[in-house]
Structure 1
Amino acid sequence: MRVIGFGLRPSASRQALEHVFARALDKIGSHNGLSVVADSLATLSKRAGHPAFQALAQAHELPVIAVEETAVAGIKTHTRSARIEALFGTGSIAEATALLAAGDGARIIVSRIVSPDGTASAAVAETEGLTGI
């Protein structure tokens, strides 16, 4: 299972989300269609209904996995934002939600990518099988 996790601020635009999404896909190295690249998108439950995030998910026909905020605390990530660590107890919301949504044994295959305006981030986690939260 491959999950693209997102961190996003309330002010994140569809453009910022598409930017990090496209960069994540580029880093995966596939241009053969999204169905091969990702099984779902993930973010914090409080951001899952964000209009720009929902538009992204619908445009790419991907289901959204909403991760509870308390679940990310203590998740070890490749990258670290001091602000996010202070607020949530993990270094990256994008990486933590991707790992949790991908399930047991997941590993980060694309570390956190941040949009130019700093309002959105994405990371990709992968695991074998179809287990997730």
Structure 2
Amino acid sequence: MTARGLRIAGFGFRSEATLESLAQALDQLIDQYGAIDKLAAAHSMLPLVEVLGRLRGIEVIAVADAELPTVTTLTHSAQSLQARGTGSVAEAVALLAAGPGATLLGPRIISADRQATAALALSEVPEGITE
């Protein structure tokens, strides 16, 4: 039996997004995949995600904006590629925050108001390590 990795939700969102946009996207992830261990956001998008983390009692991880283009994502949004250099900010952030060997559990989900996206990555836990 292998150890369970951390489930990290990464967020991407437009400047018009509200806390409710992010909360709704997070709720969709939880409905689809179950409990979330940590939240993550690009450093430039951190404040709104930190508020959500405080309200939900979930730790937030910051990811350097400069690292976003280094990640291959499942989604290939032209707008995201132009603005941030990655096909999905949410997917890239989730993978970067989850660390080397992490895998996405699926493509990003989009909030009902289409202002925010969220994706869930599972961190790799080395054999013999328990949480």
Aligned partner (choices 46, 61, 64) of residue 65 of structure 1:
61
Structure-1 separation of matches of 2:11 and 2:118: 4
Aligned partner (choices 68, 75, 88) of residue 71 of structure 2:
75
Query: Per-residue deviation at 1:91?
Result: 0.4
Structure-2 separation of matches of 1:88 and 1:10: 13
Aligned partner (choices 43, 46, 52) of residue 45 of structure 1:
43
Q: Is the 8 A contact 1:27 1:110 kept in 2?
A: no
1:22 alignment counterpart: 27
Structure-2 separation of matches of 1:3 and 1:110: 12
Structure-1 separation of matches of 2:36 and 2:14: 22
1:6 alignment counterpart: 11
Question: Which sections of structure 2, spanning at least 5 residues, go unmatched?
Answer: 1-5, 127-131
Q: Is the 8 A contact 1:44 1:97 kept in 2?
A: yes
Q: Which has the larger radius of gyration?
A: 2
Say yes or no: does 1:107 pair with 2:126: no
Question: Which sections of structure 1, spanning at least 5 residues, go unmatched?
Answer: 31-36
Q: Which runs of 4+ in 1 moved over 2 A?
A: none
1:55 alignment counterpart: 51
Query: Per-residue deviation at 1:118?
Result: 2.0
Q: Is the 8 A contact 1:7 1:94 kept in 2?
A: yes
Which residue identity lines up with residue 110 of structure 2 in the other structure?
Answer: V
Identity over aligned residues, as a percent? 36
User: What's the TM-score, normalizing by structure 1?
Assistant: 0.84
Which residue identity lines up with residue 94 of structure 2 in the other structure?
Answer: A
